[in-house]
Amino acid sequence: MSDSQTPAGGSLWRRIPLWQKILAGLALGVLTGALLGEDASLFKPLGDIFINAIKMLIVPLVFSTLVVGITAMRDPQKMGRIGARTILLYLLTTAFAIAIGLLASWVFQPGTGLDMSFDSAVEPKEAPGLTEIMVGLVPQNPIDALANGNILQIIVFAIGLGISLTLIGDKGEPVVRVFESFADAMVKLTNIVMAFAPIGVFGLIAHVAGSYGLEVLLPLAKVIGVAYLASALHVLVVYSGLLALLGRLNPLRYLQGILDALVVAYSSASSSGTLPVSLRCARNNLGVSEGVSGFVLPVGATINMDGTAIYQGVVAVFIAQLIGVDLSLADYGMIIVTGTLASIGTAGVPGAGLVMLSIVMSQIGLPLEAIAVIAGIDRILDMARTSVNVAGDLMVTTLVGKSEGELDESVYNARRTS
Ligand code: ASP
């Protein structure tokens, strides 16, 4: 369904492309928050309704499109290749991300010369073990996995079901057709929900902009600036570079194509919550096939968190500077390893990265209490890191799509009109 058919009202409204309306919602939200302060929370329910509506789509959309995508692929070897490329690219970009975060903090020294006290206690977290992760991938009960929204377990079951449906040939046809029709309906529902994105984004941003006064932000302006700068560099240099070098694709088209997902990620601070929007961007704007995007994006929304990795690097070095601890080369190495693991274990929900920061901090012997210093402004950092998390998933999806011949370049290169 095109946006012009969505039930969003008058004709002028219909003529403006959706991405422009979403950006306008964002700008209006910032303005409203700045003018009304705390009172702007009045508009938060608009944002909450929008986020609930997107979350409502995640499980049925991911499950049905993945089953359809796998039955369409009809090649288990190809699945294995896509899986291996996906994981490799996710790990590679995450290591880059954390290194950029470390470098940015090392160059700009956001914590040097700051005087801030902290006293609240924070419980340390444990990095997830590899065996634990592997065992947890297989659901004991797929209905339970669907009900709880356990994306990795849903993916495993959907792959199993998709392969089995292919193997039983004609007998599988009726079920495949049911899934095809269900998946189409979910894509349509995503488009309907997205027509309300400008209003939802407005409500979310008005609330955030109204709740953070300058008195909270200013003392930490430098670390916020460094985290945002490192995030922008990662997207503009690493992602664009990889797309151009490995994919021979124009990065500008990628940046235009992912805009809706970026704004929803920024305002919701949840990459899992943004998943239906990312899937829509991957197919409609980047031209990645259903099979590839239906697999690579949900995996990414669960395990690939480059923005979170950047944040771990920036904040760990910031806190070391704040308390006057000199980090050794081994400490930096340790941050890269534990930061990568911690980012994999971070759930795609608001604030999860802050909790996982304790893994990195305890590994290099920094006091966990220092996390309290940035807890007050974490939402502002979370918005940026979530946007990078989502941008990273979409970049890898594009590259994997291209490498498998599953990227429609006429769609990728087309000028965006909606
Ligand atoms: N909020 C982030 C996300 O959903 C995770 C984090 O807190 O780092 O991607």
Q: Is 346 helix (H, G, I), strand (E, B) or coil?
A: coil
Q: Is 362 within the bounds of a domain?
A: yes
Ligand 1 probe mutation, 381, 385, 390, 394, most atoms within 8 A of CB: 385
Whole-model pTM: value is 0.86
Number of domain units in the chain: 1
Of ligand 1's listed atoms, the one at least distance from the Cα of 270 is: 4
Q: What is the CATH number of the domain that holds 327?
A: 1.10.3860.10
The length of the chain in residues reads: 418
Closest residue by CA, ligand 1 atom 1: 350
Q: Which pLDDT belongs to residue 111? A: 82
| Dihedral sign, Cα of residue 148, residue 150, residue 155, residue 160 | negative
Q: Is 9 within the bounds of a domain?
A: no
What is the largest distance, in Å, between two alpha-carbon atoms of the chain? 71
Write the pLDDT tens digit of every residue in 112-148. 877 666 655 555 566 667 787 788 889 999 999 999 9
Q: pLDDT grade, residue 25 (50/70/90)?
A: very high
Closest residue by CA, ligand 1 atom 8: 353
Q: Is 2 within the bounds of a domain?
A: no
Cβ contact 54:277 at 8 Å: yes
Q: Is 15 within the bounds of a domain?
A: no
- The distance from CA 109 to its chain's CA centroid, rounded to whole angstroms, is 27
Q: How far apart are CA 119 and CA 117, in angstroms?
A: 7
Write the pLDDT tens digit of every residue in 45-102. 999 999 899 889 989 998 998 898 888 877 778 888 999 999 999 999 999 999 999 9
Q: Is 168 within the bounds of a domain?
A: yes
Which residues are near ligand 1 (CB < 6 Å)? Answer: 269-271, 305, 308, 346, 348-353, 382, 385-386, 389
- Residue-range definition of the domain harbouring residue 255: 28-412
Average pLDDT estimate for 320-348: 88
Write the pLDDT tens digit of every residue in 239-277. 999 999 999 999 999 999 999 999 999 999 999 999 999
Closest residue by CA, ligand 1 atom 3: 348
Q: Is 318 within the bounds of a domain?
A: yes
Q: Is 77 within the bounds of a domain?
A: yes
Q: Which pLDDT belongs to residue 2? A: 42
Q: Is 408 within the bounds of a domain?
A: yes
Average pLDDT estimate for 282-289: 95
Of ligand 1's listed atoms, the one at least distance from the Cα of 308 is: 8
